[in-house]
Amino acid sequence: MGVMRDVDIIWEELLDAFENRDPELVYLLDRLSGEIYLVPADYDDEGFWQEVAENSDQYLSIPGFDYEQERLLLYQFIQEIDNPHLRDMLTRAYAGKLPYGKVEEILSFYPDEMDHLEALRESHLSERIKRWLEEHDIFESDIL
């Protein structure tokens, strides 16, 4: 991997890319300019895709949402819940058992736990992004 030039990357755009759940959208980071591009996966411009492929050191595909990591995070969060009734409801929702709803719907009645889950998600996402940046020789001082 090459050395990163002195470019600025906008953190919020990286967050959007890593939270992307749509497989029809591709986020690319231009390592030379720091720009993040959002491109439809079915973008019909062979020249564009050829340029991206030929310049793989310049254009990095940004990984999207990681469902496996989200499930693991949610499982760990549920195990840490002290309230046995809430933990049971969340466990049933996690397993997809009726009559309970979605985890977020249940937690809407428990604002402290909802805030804790959101803080965990943000922390894990930030760590995931930082690891990815380090793997590609991009350092936090380049992030806005």
Among residues 19, 40, 42, 4, which one has the least CA distance to residue 139? 4
Indicate whether 39 belongs to any domain.
no
CB contact set of 53 (below 8 Å; sequence gap of 6+): none
Confidence (pTM): 0.82
84 lies in some domain: yes
What local confidence, expressed as pLDDT, does residue 140 receive? 61
Q: Would you state the pLDDT for residue 21?
A: 95
pLDDT at res. 13: 94
Check residue 42 and give its pLDDT: 93
Does residue 12 sit in helix, strand or coil? Answer: helix
The pLDDT assigned to 5 comes to: 55
Residue 31 lies in a domain: no
How far apart are alpha carbons 85 and 115 in whole angstroms?
18
- Residue 113 burial by Cβ neighbours in a 10 Å radius (0-12, 13-18, 19+): buried
Which pLDDT does position 137 carry in this prediction? 84
- What pLDDT is recorded for position 38? 95
**Helix extents (H) in 43-138:** 46-54, 67-79, 84-95, 103-107, 111-135
Tokens 């020789």 label which residue?
A: 137
Within a domain: residue 75? yes
Structural domains in the chain (count): 1
pLDDT at 101: 81
Residue 59 domain-assigned (yes or no): no
Q: Which residues of the chain, if any, have pLDDT below 70?
A: 1-6, 140-144
Q: Give the structural domain span for 102.
A: 67-124
Task: Give the per-residue pLDDT at 134.
Answer: 87
In this structure, is residue 86 part of a structural domain? Answer: yes
Q: Does residue 52 form part of some domain? A: no
Q: What is the pLDDT of residue 118?
A: 97
